[in-house]
């Protein structure tokens, strides 16, 4: 059965969940460890399944990350 991917809503607060085994790589890029909160700006139209996010802590825009690596925060996490 294929996994249903839920793309976060535009401008929602999201957290980054790195794929298993890639934690060190993303840590070197400043995306990890937790907690790190981003604003999901949206999917890149001509680069499907990749997105642009705003990093609130570093005040930078990051791009070309997989949309599946971001999950919207719950009400309790906000």
pLDDT tens column, 34-71: 678 999 999 999 999 999 999 988 899 999 999 999 99
- Beta carbons within 10 angstroms of residue 68's beta carbon: 15
pLDDT of the residue at 1: 47
Mean pLDDT of all residues belonging to the chain: 88
List the chain domain ranges. Answer: 13-77
Give the list of residues 6+ apart from residue 13 with CB closer than 8 angstroms, or none.
Answer: 37, 38, 39, 40, 72, 73, 78
């Amino acid at each position: 059965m294929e996994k249903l991917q839920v793309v976060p809503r535009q401008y929602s607060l999201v957290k980054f969940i790195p794929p298993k085994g890639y934690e060190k790589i993303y840590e070197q890029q400043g995306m990890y460890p937790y907690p790190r909160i981003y604003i999901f700006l949206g999917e890149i139209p001509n680069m499907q399944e990749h997105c642009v996010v705003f990093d609130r802590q570093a005040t930078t825009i990051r791009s070309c990350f997989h949309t599946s690596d971001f999950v919207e925060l719950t009400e309790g996490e906000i």
